[in-house]
Amino acid sequence: MVCLPLNRGLLTPAEIKMKKTTLLALAGLSAASLLQAEQLDVEKDSLKFGFIKLTDCAPIVIAKEKGFFEAEGLSVEVIAQPNWKQLLDNVITGELDGAHMLSGQPIAATIGFGTKAHIVTPYTLDLNGNGITVSNEIWEGMQENDEKLQSDTPPHPITADSLKPIVDAAKDSGKKLPMGMVFPVSTHNYEIRYWLAAANINPGMYTSTDLKGFTGGDIELSTTPPPQMPATLESGKNVAYCVGEPWNQQAVAKGIGVPVVTNYDIWKNNPEKVFGVTKEWADENPNTLIAVTKALIKAGKWLDASEDGKLINREEACRILSQKNYVGADFDIIKNSMTGYFYFQKTDKREMPDFNVFFKYKASYPYYSDGVWFLTQMRRWGQITEPKPAEWYAETAKSVYLPDVYMKAAKMLIAEGSLTADEVPADDFDGYKPATSDFIDGISYDGKKPLEYLKSHKIGNKE
């Protein structure tokens, strides 16, 4: 007999009964976890997700490896992408169903900075997780300018104040210090700019004709793919860079640079990566999107599970991430930052329990206020060339972030008993985090008042 693949819904009731009797014996304890999950009627069950080799792709990888996708009836392939641009292009062309994206990417794509496409996100993958590393030479210079840094364990956070004289000296001799970030609309770009600008160093502005963002800058900040960061630091192509893990720890391990500050110090618990799909895909596959979100929430929760303040699953997560088809860096390097510590120098290991936050603090909810913050940064540095009204900020954020999908997924998980109601925002939550001044320069940010926020900075567009 020719073996035909079974089509959906072609089982006759008699067949089902027959299969049930033969298979029922199997469905004992072992299948308990599957029984719990209420599977959705997904539109598409074989999916391809893309990621970049950074530790914050963890929720996607964990959802696959720990079987959370499978529990939703999804068979997911997770494929490494060479760079952020190609990743976005692959999502737009449909080659990938969804991907690990920089928070700024869906927003920039939607408003048409760079490739234009309507991208939406129902899930924030993580908070924090980046660092700024400077070369050994610059670090020595900074130590000379600031006595306090001349120690194996200097006081943190380190501001760019001690960097300012070096930048000025270089500028006087006709040279702008070259620095690296990973993508024009990446969190890294905004973070290093924020850090520099907080110490009165102008990182340069984007204009309608200058898409590199060099105009009027004291330094030159350009794009470098994350894995090449340490190499550029060593070759002198960059003297500092802002990047995610494991590339800061890599610099410490190889002794070619010193991470001076993490983005946790620049802005406590800032949103980092999101899970993005095209609007079209989300409209065509609403149930699949909810199922994916469910699996991701479970993965996030698994990653942040702790006992007595110790993260219990992180070691296993590092083990999985160090596989060559995922992040592929050495286990020890990944472990350095993911298990609650961060090495600033070989001699300076600090506890940083919140260096990677995947779920706690209701982190994975897609907040409108996060979208607005990225929009304000795009305006501040001139990527958005025209001043916009406050309503535009709110509307744009609302067209990209999908808290409804997140809440639907969360409710189902609560009903299944794998989540509690206090782990996600309440039903009547409006999607805006309360105003905060947890920034390195202490300036307060309120997502509902983007225009006031723009005015409060010294450097950059003020409206």
Would you give the binding string for another protein spanning residues 206-245, x where CB under 8 A is met? -------------------x-x--xx--x-----------
Q: Which is nearer to another protein, 323 or 456 (CB)?
A: 323
Question: Which contiguous run of DSSP H or E holds residue 88?
Answer: helix 84-93
Rounded to a whole number, what is the distance in angstroms from the first to the last CA of the chain?
72
429: left (phi over 0), alpha (psi -120 to 50) or beta: beta
Binding status of residue 322 toward another protein by CB under 8 A: yes
Rank residues 223 and 269 by Cβ distance to another protein and give the closer one. 223
The token pair at 416 is: 């299944």
Smallest distance, another protein to C-beta of residue 368, A? 30
Residue number, 48 or 212, with CB nearest to another protein: 48
Collapse the DSSP code of 120 into the 3-class scheme (helix H, G, I; strand E, B; otherwise coil) and give the result.
Answer: strand
Which residue, 1 or 426, is less far from another protein as judged by CB? 1
Tell the smallest beta-carbon distance from residue 327 to another protein (Å). 7
Shortest Cβ 403–another protein spacing (Å): 24
Contact, 275 vs 100, CB < 8 A? Answer: yes
Contact present, 275 and 105 (Cβ < 8 Å): no
Query: Which parts of 64-223 are beta strand (E)?
Result: 75-80, 98-102, 119-128, 130-135, 177-181, 219-223
Q: Is 146 in the site for another protein (CB under 8 A)?
A: no
Nearest-10 Cα torsion for 444, 447, 451, 457: 30
Number of residues located near another protein, criterion CB under 8 A:
76
**Using an 8 Å Cβ cutoff, are 278 and 91 in contact?**
yes
Candidates 43, 93, 148, 350: give the one binding another protein (CB under 8 A). Answer: 93
Q: Answer whether the bond into residue 246 is a cis peptide, omega within 30°.
A: yes
According to the binding rule CB under 8 A, does residue 426 interact with another protein? no
Q: How far is the CB of 322 from another protein (least distance, A)?
A: 7
Restricting to residues 255-274, name those near another protein by CB under 8 A. 255-256
Which position among 316, 348, 354, 416 is part of the footprint of another protein (CB under 8 A)? 316
Chain positions 55 to 84 lying near another protein, rule: CB under 8 A, are 64-67, 70-71, 73, 75-82
Please tell me the distance from the alpha carbon of residue 75 to that of residue 73, in angstroms, as a whole number. 7
Buried b (16+ CB within 10 A) or exposed e, 87-101: bbebbbeeebbbbbb
Cβ 348 to another protein, closest distance in Å?
12
Instruction: Name residue, tokens 């390097």.
Output: 333
Q: State how beta strands 98-102 and 119-128 pair.
A: unpaired
Q: How far is the CB of 194 from another protein (least distance, A)?
A: 27
- Please identify which residue in 46, 173, 208, 209 interacts with another protein, judged by CB under 8 A: 46
Q: Which of residues 327-356 bind another protein (CB under 8 A)?
A: 327-333, 346-347
Phi, psi of 286 (to 5 degrees): -60, -40
CB of 350 to another protein, least distance (A): 17
- Identity of the residue, 241 or 393, whose beta carbon is nearer to another protein in the bound complex: 241
CB of 152 to another protein, least distance (A): 10
Q: Phi-psi bin for 128: left (phi > 0), alpha (psi -120 to 50), beta?
A: left
Q: How far is the CB of 378 from another protein (least distance, A)?
A: 27
Instruction: Tell me how far apart the alpha carbons of residues 115 and 92 are, in angstroms, rounded to a whole number.
Output: 9
- Does position 390 bind another protein by CB under 8 A? no
94 is a site residue for another protein (CB under 8 A)? yes
Taking CB under 8 A as the criterion, the residue among 14, 23, 155, 307 binding another protein is 23
